[in-house]
Amino acid sequence: MRLVRRLVFYLFAAAYLIGCPLTIAYALGYLYEPGTEHGLVQTGLIALSTEPPGATVYLNNKRYTKKTPTLLRGLLPGAYQLRVSLRDHQAWTRTVTVEGAKAAAYEHILLAPSAWRPETVVAEQFEQLVPLSGDRFAVLLAGPTLGEAMVLDVRERQPRPLLPVLSPWRQARLIDQLAVAGAPALLARVEVRGGERLIWLDVRSEDTAIEDVSQYLLTRPVWAGEPSGKRRFVLFDDGTLAALDDPARSVLATDVRGAGLAGHRLYVLDASGRLDRMDLEGRDRETLLQHAPLGRRFFGAHGFFRIVAPDDRLLLLWSEQGRLLTNRLPYRFAREGITGLAPDPRTSRVLLWRRHALGVLDDGPVDEDPAAFARGPRLRWLIRGLTRVEQAYWAYDASHALVLDADMLRLVEIDVDAPTPSADVVPVKRKTSVLYTESEGAVYFLSAADGHLMRLALLPRRERLSLTLPARRELTVPPGVRR
């Protein structure tokens, strides 16, 4: 009996001496792997979060019991086949590379339903949807006159008439319009009683504010901006930059080739190639570029530029001919062909597109070493071979892009580790636009068959749980996930 007890004691002691270090090593992210140096391999993990949550996870065809959001811990370095599936939704698959002491994080997996089911908002026929600045308002055009137009406010259940019944502008025929940067407003050229007028329509209040600004009607507006309702600026095709809030309709500058607003600063490019930044009153002027030969070489001799400043470091100048210039190396990103761009309001990234391709311009982090050469933005084309890109929106915390490709809405996943997949969502009415609102996770569009106003929820209206581990992030001990 004493021999048995001694044998059991030695067995437990051996198990402790062997198992305890292995348990500690596992807790520190190590596994014993025969044939490797010292026999220990540092493991990695995969962090997963899906919308909707509760999806089943398969790794190399092995099913995990935990549903998303979840962590797959203790994985040996190497490539894994990952599949995430949920009933009545399309499966999401990816080849994932796991590295020791690092996390491969996929925190914005959007599981598309097997069939998208948009709802009808207004069962009337509209010809065009014109999105305004921001993600709340759009103008719906049912016919050629302003009296037939309606305002879509996504916070209201039903659209409202653009103009009241007694408005003298109801019979005005719309010739063309320009959405205003920074404000839910339109600068519209209309025909009324045999003559043309230029009017400013602000839809942010229940009664649309209308102002006749026809002093500059002989020229075509090529850019209009209003920062927070304090000042209004319009650049016309004759190079006149006007401040409409001034009672005298003052001309701020002539021979202007470009303009833009960023926060409370105004950017102005003149015909000589001089680029200035100033406050909204035209004071505190700072010259960013003043070298006529360089300016002519940089900007060319013709064309207007829209100036966009995603952050304090990056300045984009986008011409009518599709040229894209920046103030960072390599300065010129496209000689022609860029047909649209959309800055991400939370980062310095910019969605941009050509006729057949969608890409991301990423300015990246600030260089830590001030003596080093500054790294310029990086342009990465996400997807090519599209039919005709008309619009693009950042969606789902900028992890996806919603793209209007000809008459088809597509959802494009933005992923640096793999070829970018896309999915068809729903066909829309041809030669019109869509409005996506991130706060609702919904897109408004006109149906392809009858022009009815439709709404499609891409994301449910609720707080979304997110595992915010950046991909390939170095792990501390013990591994964890931070919100």
The pLDDT tens digits of the residues spanning 214-267 come to: 988 889 999 999 987 678 999 999 999 999 877 666 888 899 999 999 888 999
* Contact present, 288 and 275 (Cβ < 8 Å): yes
The pLDDT tens digits of the residues spanning 386-412 come to: 999 999 999 998 999 999 999 999 999
Least confident of 116-130, 356-370, 376-390, 432-446: 356-370
Asked whether the bond before 69 is cis by omega within 30 degrees of 0, the reply is yes
Give the distance, in angstroms, between the CA of residue 120 and the centroid of all CA atoms in the same chain: 26
Band of residue 27 on the pLDDT scale cut at 50, 70, 90: very low
Please report the pLDDT score of residue 263 as a whole number: 81
What length does the chain have?
Answer: 483
- Which has more confidence, 145 or 289? 145
Least confident of 155-164, 373-382, 406-415: 373-382
* Contact present, 87 and 76 (Cβ < 8 Å): no
Q: Is 85 exposed, middle or buried (0-12, 13-18, 19+ CB in 10 A)?
A: middle
> Cα–Cα distance between 208 and 316 in angstroms, integer?
33
How many Cβ atoms sit within 10 Å of the Cβ of residue 438?
17
Q: Among residues 106, 100, 113, which one has the least CA distance to residue 57?
A: 106
Q: What phi and psi, each to the nearest 5 degrees, are found at residue 481?
A: -130, 135
Q: Is the pLDDT of residue 375 over 50?
A: yes
> Cα–Cα distance between 397 and 470 in angstroms, integer?
13
**Tokens 């392809």 sit on residue:** 448
Q: Among residues 245, 261, 264, which one has the least CA distance to residue 181?
A: 261
Q: Which CA distances in Å does 214 have to 141, 151, 196, 202?
A: 22, 23, 8, 16
**Tokens 């059991």 sit on residue:** 8
Q: Enumerate residues 6+ apart whose C-beta is below 8 A from 390.
A: 340, 404, 405, 406, 433
Please report the pLDDT score of residue 460 as a whole number: 74
* Contact present, 25 and 32 (Cβ < 8 Å): yes
Long-range contacts of 412-416 (CB under 8 A, 24+ apart): 412/358, 412/382, 412/383, 413/110, 414/360, 414/382, 416/380, 416/471
> Cα–Cα distance between 198 and 223 in angstroms, integer?
14
> Cα–Cα distance between 163 and 405 in angstroms, integer?
32
Please report the pLDDT score of residue 1 as a whole number: 63
Exposure on the CB side of residue 137, measured as CA atoms within 13 A = 24
Q: Enumerate residues 6+ apart whose C-beta is below 8 A from 201.
A: 139, 162, 185, 186, 187, 188, 208, 209, 210
Q: Is the pLDDT of residue 474 over 90?
A: no
Q: Which CA distances in Å does 392 have to 39, 56, 70, 463?
A: 51, 31, 31, 24
Q: Letter for the amino acid at 200?
A: W
The pLDDT tens digits of the residues spanning 408-457 come to: 999 999 876 666 778 899 999 999 999 999 989 999 999 999 999 999 99
Band of residue 149 on the pLDDT scale cut at 50, 70, 90: very high
Region 455-460: mean pLDDT is 90
Q: Enumerate residues 6+ apart whose C-beta is below 8 A from 147.
A: 161, 162, 163, 167, 169, 170, 171
Please report the pLDDT score of residue 210 as a whole number: 94
> Cα–Cα distance between 39 and 233 in angstroms, integer?
69
pTM for the whole structure? 0.85
The pLDDT tens digits of the residues spanning 51-108 come to: 999 999 999 999 998 899 999 998 999 999 999 999 999 999 999 999 988 888 998 8
Beta strands of 344-429 (E only): which ranges? 350-353, 358-362, 378-383, 389-395, 400-405, 408-413, 422-427
Band of residue 17 on the pLDDT scale cut at 50, 70, 90: very low
Please report the pLDDT score of residue 373 as a whole number: 56
How many Cβ atoms sit within 10 Å of the Cβ of residue 159?
20
Q: Among residues 307, 275, 297, 278, which one has the least CA distance to residue 288?
A: 275
Mean pLDDT score of the chain: 84
Residue 130, both tokens:
């014109």
Beta strands of 89-149 (E only): which ranges? 92-98, 102-110, 119-122, 128-131, 137-141
Please report the pLDDT score of residue 293 as a whole number: 78
Query: Which CATH number applies to 2-114+470-474: 1.20.1090.10, 1.10.10.10, 2.60.40.1120, 2.10.210.10?
Result: 2.60.40.1120
Please report the pLDDT score of residue 467 as a whole number: 43
Give the distance, in angstroms, between the CA of residue 246 and the centroid of all CA atoms in the same chain: 34
**CA-atom Rg of the chain in angstroms:** 28
Please report the pLDDT score of residue 249 as a whole number: 63
* Contact present, 132 and 186 (Cβ < 8 Å): yes
* Contact present, 43 and 29 (Cβ < 8 Å): yes
